[in-house]
Amino acid sequence: MFSFRGEARVYDNLARFGRGNGVDSGALRARSRLPMLLLEILEDIAKLALSVAALYVGLRLVLRHRRPAWHDRVDQRRAAFVWLLMLGASAVMVAEDALGGDSHLIDRHILLFIREHLPAMLTLPFEWITLSASGHVLTPLTFATSVALYFTRRRGDAVLVAGSVTCGAVLIYVLKSLVERERPKLWAAEWYWGSSFPSGHTLAMASFATAAALVIGRTWPALRVPALVLALVWVLLVGFSRLVLGVHWPTDVLVAACIGAAIPLGFSFSLEHRRD
């Protein structure tokens, strides 16, 4: 989403200007970076908003004429549908910059900033947080949750949880096999299977946490907001832990979080439509 296609070229020009005028190019870069980033972010947010609005209007028109039942469902769950479009569009935009190499500088700056400013004593807690999103934890947790929902006559919710996490796992394997993005090598870090893109831990946790929050919200409506907040915090902590450990670029984590959260929303729409 946040593209920085002209950043490297601008920095090279600044360096040449600094050398030619006796000015510290590093200071020039530091002073110029913030307004450049803010402009890029505002530009990309505007592009994202326009893309989502166009998709929403276009899909509603198509559904109204070809799938009236789906059109009614979209109207009933408009907010969730808009979120689904936003997550999908964000994932595509960030992935484009990440895989095209346009986000490398900002990815690197963020990782180095975290490394320099986060106390070393917090590394171990973040290792535990990463462990909570590993297959050793999420697999039995997903199985137990799905079985409990199934035997309490919440079979649709059981399918939502199991299907979301399974779909997330398949996407992780496929994307890591197809996309050969090297992991960061800014400092010594633990070895993990596969390429850097996307963050498997983040995607898997986002799939499970979002599905669980949707189930809780339907079962106990009063807990909908707390469940969604807890899911968001859990996913953010897992994603940040991958950056603290230096095993993923920030854009790997951002794309994974968007994809992981979008999967249960898509499953939820499909399951509700089938029930109707």
Distance CA 207, CA 197 (A): 16
Question: Is a pLDDT exceeding 60 seen at residue 14?
Answer: no
Q: Which residue has the tokens 């633990």?
A: 190
Select from 98, 262, 102 the least CA-distant residue to 196: 98
Structural domains for the chain:
7-275 (1.20.144)
DSSP label at residue 222: G
- Give, rounded to a whole angstrom, the gap between the first and last alpha carbons of the chain: 36
**Non-local CB neighbours of 256 within 8 Å, separated by 6+ positions:** 198, 199, 200, 201, 202, 203, 206, 239
Q: pLDDT tier at 33 (50, 70, 90 boundaries)?
A: low
pLDDT for the residue numbered 82: 84
Task: Say whether pTM exceeds 0.75.
Answer: yes
Q: What integer pLDDT is reported at residue 275 of this predicted model?
A: 57
Dump the DSSP string for 244-274.
Answer: HTT-S-HHHHHHHHHHHHHHHHHHHHHHHHH
Average pLDDT rounded to a whole number, residues 84-93: 90
| % of residues, the chain, pLDDT over 90 | 51
Provide the sign of the torsion angle of the four alpha carbons 202, 86, 168, 146, taken in this order. positive
pLDDT tens by residue, 184-218 = 988 877 777 778 999 999 999 999 999 999 999 99
Given a cut of 60, whether residue 27 has pLDDT beyond it is no
Cβ-based neighbours of 140, under 8 Å, separated by 6 or more: none
Q: What angle do CA 153, 155, 159 make, to 5 degrees?
A: 160
